[in-house]
């Protein structure tokens, strides 16, 4: 149980965690989730009398309420039945430690082969497709990521392929200006694939490093959306045979299980390679990260932890575990 034991050692003073800027942001961003999760766990343990079936039913309900997902909650509860027996855990703190340890172990096991980094090509054009419903922060995330890459010295272009809404094109242009990168666009209502083709030609002509493509998010007409994304993919692969190099699904963490429904639908519509989780700092339901990994088998690659242009950061699983569970471990760190 690598990271769980490391956390316990940190709060016993036996081990140190390097406090980086990204760890501080994650720690601060998970404050609502941590308080909510800790409160739920405290309420569960306050009603604890013995490790019986009533307790496991309460645990399952608590985990579902924390948005760790129905399947994940069932799995944790089933595995804990065995674990608690093996340990002969009877005291509340022993049982709580077993619960947190099981959450961490499932998280680590599911992500063992996972690639959390956004994959960029060296000395070649990288094409990253962004998908997701309207209003989740897709365009904002594209603008923030474009700004980061430009600050790293990369030549970045944006493609406004959400041509269904004129507002989406205008919003991307505004973010392009903020990030200091150019936006390739067509008229509202024009063919999204043609905009992507123009952007690819421009990117190759200008020897751009990265092309970030915004797309429409009309899930109510999934068949049409699927065909549109397939056409965009065909255009990209015709010009860049191994592209797109990433298909990032943007979901709003504050929408909880609704975000999971969206993720499942988009995963059916296109080959999603990773998740961008926005507004993680604005929710008390950060357990959704566990559900995404366990139930969808998709890595979270980027997280939004604020409104600023610098508040989108790479997702580090260890920082997430630290930020989510540290207070539960603190309370029992000396047991």
Residue listed under structure tokens 């699983």: 317
**Does residue 101 share a domain with residue 245?**
no
**Does residue 167 share a domain with residue 39?**
no
**Does residue 48 share a domain with residue 172?**
no
Both tokens of 59, joined, read 């645990």
Which has more confidence, 320 or 161? 161
Is 323 annotated to bind a ligand? Reply is no
Q: Among 50-64, 116-130, 233-247, 252-266, which is the least confidently predicted range? A: 252-266
**Does residue 149 share a domain with residue 109?**
no
- Most confidently predicted of 70-74, 96-100, 169-173: 169-173
| 4 located within any domain | no
Helix (H, G, I), strand (E, B) or coil at 284: coil
State pTM to two decimals. 0.89
Residue listed under structure tokens 């309207």: 134
**Does residue 163 share a domain with residue 96?**
no
**Does residue 328 share a domain with residue 295?**
no
Domain that holds residue 204: 126-316
Kindly state the average pLDDT of the residues 114-139.
92
**Does residue 268 share a domain with residue 140?**
yes
Q: For all residues of the chain together, what is the average pLDDT?
A: 86
CATH number at residue 305: 3.40.50.300
Both tokens of 255, joined, read 């929408």
**Does residue 205 share a domain with residue 277?**
yes
CB atoms within 10 A of CB 17: 15
Q: Among 24-38, 129-143, 194-208, 236-250, which is the least confidently predicted range? A: 24-38
Whether the bond into 193 is cis, omega within 30 of 0: no
| 5 located within any domain | no
| 205 located within any domain | yes
Q: Residue 148: what pLDDT?
A: 96
Kindly state the average pLDDT of the residues 303-318.
89
| 325 located within any domain | yes
Kindly state the average pLDDT of the residues 33-57.
86
Is 136 annotated to bind a ligand? Reply is yes
pLDDT of 3 strictly over 70: no
Q: How many domains does the chain fold into?
A: 2
Is 334 annotated to bind a ligand? Reply is no
**Does residue 325 share a domain with residue 302?**
no
- pLDDT per residue as tens digits for the range 212-227: 999 988 766 667 888 8
| 9 located within any domain | no
Cα distance between the two ends of the chain: 16
Q: Among 93-107, 114-128, 159-173, which is the least confidently predicted range? A: 93-107
Is 12 annotated to bind a ligand? Reply is no
- Percent of all residues in the chain with a pLDDT value above 90, rounded to a whole number: 41
Q: Residue 18: what pLDDT?
A: 77
Confidence of residue 33 (pLDDT cuts 50, 70, 90): confident
Q: Residue 112: what pLDDT?
A: 64
**Does residue 303 share a domain with residue 328?**
no
- pLDDT per residue as tens digits for the range 239-255: 999 999 999 999 998 88
Is 311 annotated to bind a ligand? Reply is no
Is 281 annotated to bind a ligand? Reply is yes
Is 135 annotated to bind a ligand? Reply is yes
Q: Residue 333: what pLDDT?
A: 42
Q: Which residues contact 186 (CB under 8 A, 6 or more apart)?
A: 160, 163, 194, 195, 198
**Does residue 190 share a domain with residue 326?**
no
Helix (H, G, I), strand (E, B) or coil at 218: coil
Is 133 annotated to bind a ligand? Reply is yes
Q: Which residues pair with 252 in a beta bridge?
A: 278
Is 138 annotated to bind a ligand? Reply is yes
Is 280 annotated to bind a ligand? Reply is yes
Is 215 annotated to bind a ligand? Reply is yes
Is 279 annotated to bind a ligand? Reply is yes
Is 121 annotated to bind a ligand? Reply is no
Both tokens of 289, joined, read 């990260």
Q: Residue 12: what pLDDT?
A: 62
300: phi then psi, degrees, rounded to nearest 5: -80, 125
């Amino acid at each position: 149980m690598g990271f769980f034991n490391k956390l316990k050692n940190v709060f016993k003073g036996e081990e140190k965690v390097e406090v980086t800027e990204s760890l501080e942001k994650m720690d601060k961003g998970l404050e609502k989730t941590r308080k909510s999760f800790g409160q739920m766990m405290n309420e569960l343990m306050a009603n604890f009398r013995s490790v019986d079936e009533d307790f496991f039913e309460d645990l399952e309900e608590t985990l579902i309420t924390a948005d760790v997902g129905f399947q994940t909650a069932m799995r944790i509860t089933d595995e804990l039945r065995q674990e608690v027996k093996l340990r002969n855990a009877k005291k509340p703190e022993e049982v709580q430690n077993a619960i947190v340890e099981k959450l961490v172990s499932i998280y680590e096991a599911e992500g063992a082969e996972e690639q959390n980094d956004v994959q960029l090509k060296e000395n070649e054009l990288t094409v990253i497709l962004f998908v997701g419903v309207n209003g989740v922060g897709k365009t904002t995330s594209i603008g923030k990521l474009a700004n980061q890459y430009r600050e790293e010295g990369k030549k970045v272009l944006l493609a406004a392929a959400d041509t269904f809404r004129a507002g989406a094109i205008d919003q991307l242009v505004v973010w392009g200006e903020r990030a200091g990168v150019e936006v390739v666009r067509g008229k509202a209502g024009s063919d999204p694939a043609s905009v992507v083709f123009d952007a690819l030609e421009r990117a190759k002509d200008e020897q751009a490093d990265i092309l970030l493509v915004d797309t429409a998010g009309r899930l109510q007409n999934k068949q049409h959306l699927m065909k549109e994304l397939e056409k965009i993919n065909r255009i990209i692969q015709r010009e860049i045979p191994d592209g797109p190099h990433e298909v990032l699904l943007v979901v709003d963490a504050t929408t909880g299980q609704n975000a999971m429904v969206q993720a499942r639908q988009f995963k059916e519509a296109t080959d999603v390679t990773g998740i961008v989780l926005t507004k993680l700092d604005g929710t008390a339901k950060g357990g959704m990260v566990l559900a995404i990994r366990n139930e969808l088998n998709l890595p979270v690659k980027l997280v939004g932890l604020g409104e600023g242009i610098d508040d989108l950061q790479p997702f580090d699983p260890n920082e997430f575990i630290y930020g989510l569970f540290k207070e539960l471990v603190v309370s029992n760190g000396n047991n």
